[in-house]
Structure formats: structure tokens, C-alpha cells
Amino acid sequence: MNLNHKLKYILPVAVILVSILGALVIVRSKPDVKPNPPRITPKLIKTIEVRQKQVQMVVRSQGSVRARTESALVSQVAGLVTSVSPSFVAGGFFEEGDILVSQDPRDYAFILTQAKHQVAKAALALEIEKQQSEIAREEWLRLNTGEPPSLASRKPQLLEARAALEAARAGEQQAQLNMERTSIRAPFAGRVRTKNVDVGQYVTPGMALANVYAIDYAEVRLSLRDEELAFLDMPFDFRGKNLNRKGPRVDLQARFAGKQHQWQGYLTHIEAEVDSRSRMIHAVVRVDNPYGKSVDNQRPPLTVGLFVNAAIHGSTVENLYLLPRAALRNRDEVLVVDGDNRLHFRKVESFRVESDIAYISSGLSDGEQVCVSVIEAVVDGMPVEPILEEYKFSNIAMQEESK
């Protein structure tokens, strides 16, 4: 075997051995690599600092303004309408006792004259009967002893004459009353809702001339849930109690003529029954002088039919923590940030929860920071970076402004 033939087998083996040796040298000479622990970036959240407060509860509802009294103005006698008041138009205002419609009184004037004649005749007949009764009594006493019988002294005839005079006087009073009824007067201070007659129209008894309503005060009927009554200083109505009491104050708001306006009223009573379909309870608000001018002369009248938002000022509750509704998790939990900026779950007890605010009665302490940010995945004890901010509670601000 020559040298070239030997090298043919030796060189590949030598190359493999050198490669293995080089690989071992590289492996042994590499530096030790120590992995860095993963760095967790704290989550940025918004928090508020909680403190106990004295809070006046506000119960909110909606309703429409209605008249406290609405009546159909009717004619009690028949006749031709001869004149109407300038205020006898739809929307017109009138005062109690104002003549709204006048009917032709001449027929009733004739009847009144005839009734006065009947009174005079009956009075004359009574005087004649008195004289005849006295004469009859004297004649009986001249011929007989003792008191005369009633027929002999004409007592029944005297009673009949007196009754005839009373009937004639009643007829005169009736004729006088019908005469006065030709002038149809306003039963109260109010406003005309609808007008049904005008000059030249013949009206009959019982015919509706107009629909009118009183304006001394207006009412708003509010629907409340039964649990909301617990937040109102409104005693229940029992038999024998006066319903016209002054209850909690109510602020009414409505948008009219492109602007927001506010009126004040108060609860007077709770209606007689619970609505069988909605299970709601209805309370009535009274607003005095709804058509009176405001101090700045800018507020419109509280018109019947206007839809209003109502805020009822209820009872005052001590030692409550206020949180945004979004800060409450699972109805009875909040997220609290500790001194090491770590987030923890905390069980709390809610006194009341509204659509945008939660009133917490226990489970928190003054000065603690509560998370108000919406976080999807939360691990108890996770590090966070809190940003403390001032949170404006709109409901509470409205209460403070109204005090």
C-alpha cells in the first residue's frame, strides 16, 4: 500500500478529530450566561381617596304637570249667548267670580216679575186670613166658653195662607237665581283649556261651555319604587290623618323654549294604591303659583302637560363613602390600593346603589385609595401605579347648590 493510498483514509479521520477537539475547546471556553428575571411594569390606574360624608339622599323620577282641579263649565239655564269675556279663549286667564259668558236675561226677568206678583198676592191673602181668623175666634168666644176648635178659628186656612206665601217667596228666589245664572261666573281662579260656545249660540241646561282648570297650584304625579320610600322623610298615610301636609322638597327641571328651567315644590301625599301592573307607588308633588313670574322674569310658567324631571330631597344619612358606580365590582367588592401600591380586593356593604353612584356604609376607612379605573384582568396583590384624582359627583353637587 503506497503513501497516497494511506493518506486517503487518514486525512478524513484527522479532520473529524480536529473538529471534535475544536468543538470541545469552544464549549469549555464559553462564558456563563445568567438569565435576567422578567420585569413587570406596574399598571397605571386612577384612584380616589375616600372619606366619610353626611349625605342627603335624592330620589329621582319623572312626570307630567297636571291641574289640581279641572272642571267642565256648564250652563244651568237655557238661553242665547249675548256676550263672552275677552279672557274666554283657549289659554285665557280669569279670576274667581269673573263673568265668562252672559246669556239673554229677559225671559228670566219676566218670570221674576211674575214671581214677585205672586208673593204680593200671597202676602195679601195671608193678612186677610189673619183678620178672618181673629174675627172667627172672637165670635166663638162670645157665644161659647173655652178655646174654639181649629176649624172654627180658621187655623187650617191660616196655615195654608202662610204656606202659600212661603211657596211664592221660594218661587221668587228660584226666579232670581235663574236670573243670576244667565251670567256664568268662574268658580275659581283658573285658565281656559277649551272653548265650546260663542256669541249667538243657544245653550241648554247641562251643556258644556268650556273646560277650565285651577291655577292656584299645580300637581306632578311621580312613579316611585317601593324601596325608594326608605330614603324619603315621608310618613305613611293612615286613617284620620290630614293629607295636605308639607312633605320633602322637590326640584323640578324641564327644557322649555330651548332653555333649562327649574321650579320648586313639595310632596303632599302618596296615592291610595300600588300599581298592579308596574308595581310602582305614586306620589304627588304640589307647586304653588305655577303661573307666577320668577324673580328674574326669565322662567316660563309651569304649564299643564309639561314633562319634568324631579329630584326629591330625602333623608340625611351619616358616615357614608361615595364611589362611582363603576368602582363597584360584583355588587359588593372594590379594589383598594395599599401602601406598597399593590391592588387588593375588599368586601364592602352598600347602603344604596344608583345608576352612577354607590353609597358604601362599611368596609372602607378614611384616607384609603379606591381604584375607579375599569380593569379587565385583576390579580390580588398586583403592583399598580395609582394616579390620585378628584372625582365630581354630579348628584351631590346638585344637592349642595340647592341648599
Cα distance between residue 110 and residue 378, in whole Å: 96
Q: Supply φ then ψ for residue 110, to 5 degrees.
A: -65, -45
pLDDT, one tens digit per residue, over 64-111 is 999 989 999 999 999 999 999 999 999 999 999 999 999 999 999 999
Cell of 175: 226666579
Q: Which residues, other chains included, contact 264 with Cβ-Cβ below 8 Å and sequence gap of 6+?
A: 249, 250, 251, 252, 287
Domain identity same for 266 and 303: yes
Domain identity same for 218 and 208: no
Cα distance between residue 73 and residue 81, in whole Å: 14
Say what the pLDDT of residue 32 is. 62
Say what the pLDDT of residue 146 is. 77
Q: In what order do the strands lie in the sheet with 99-103?
A: 183-185, 99-103, 79-84, 202-203
Specify the CATH number for the domain of residue 396: 2.40.420.20
Q: Which residues pair with 185 in a beta bridge?
A: 99
Question: Is position 21 within any domain?
Answer: no
pLDDT at 240 over 60: no
Domain identity same for 252 and 322: no
pLDDT at 295 over 60: yes
Give the CA dihedral 330, 336, 341, 344, nearest 10 degrees.
-50
Label residue 21 by pLDDT band (50, 70, 90): confident
pLDDT at 367 over 70: yes
Domain identity same for 242 and 282: yes
Cell of 188: 275659581
Cα distance between residue 149 and residue 139, in whole Å: 12
Domain identity same for 115 and 136: yes
Beta-strand pair 43-49/384-388: parallel
Say what the pLDDT of residue 366 is. 92
Domain boundary among 213, 230, 262: 213
pLDDT at 178 over 90: yes
Label residue 401 by pLDDT band (50, 70, 90): very low
Residues of the domain holding 269: 60-67+214-315
Over residues 342-366, the mean pLDDT reads: 90
Specify the CATH number for the domain of residue 263: 2.40.30.170
Cα distance between residue 46 and residue 148, in whole Å: 112
Residue (of 103, 266, 286) closest to 179 by Cα position: 103
pLDDT, one tens digit per residue, over 99-121 is 999 999 999 999 999 999 999 99
Cell of 141: 168666644
Label residue 310 by pLDDT band (50, 70, 90): very high
Looking at residue 55, its amino acid is V
Say what the pLDDT of residue 16 is. 73
Looking at residue 68, its amino acid is R
The interaxial angle of helices 106-143 and 155-181, nearest 10 deg, is: 170
Say what the pLDDT of residue 229 is. 85
Residue (of 44, 56, 60, 50) closest to 356 by Cα position: 60
User: Is the model more confident about 328 or about 24?
Assistant: 328
Domain identity same for 228 and 345: no
Over residues 206-220, the mean pLDDT reads: 94
Percent of the chain with pLDDT over 90: 50
Query: What average pLDDT is seen over the chain?
Result: 86
User: Is the model more confident about 109 or about 10?
Assistant: 109
Domain identity same for 169 and 247: no
Domain identity same for 128 and 87: no
Report the Cα 296 to chain-centroid distance in Å: 25
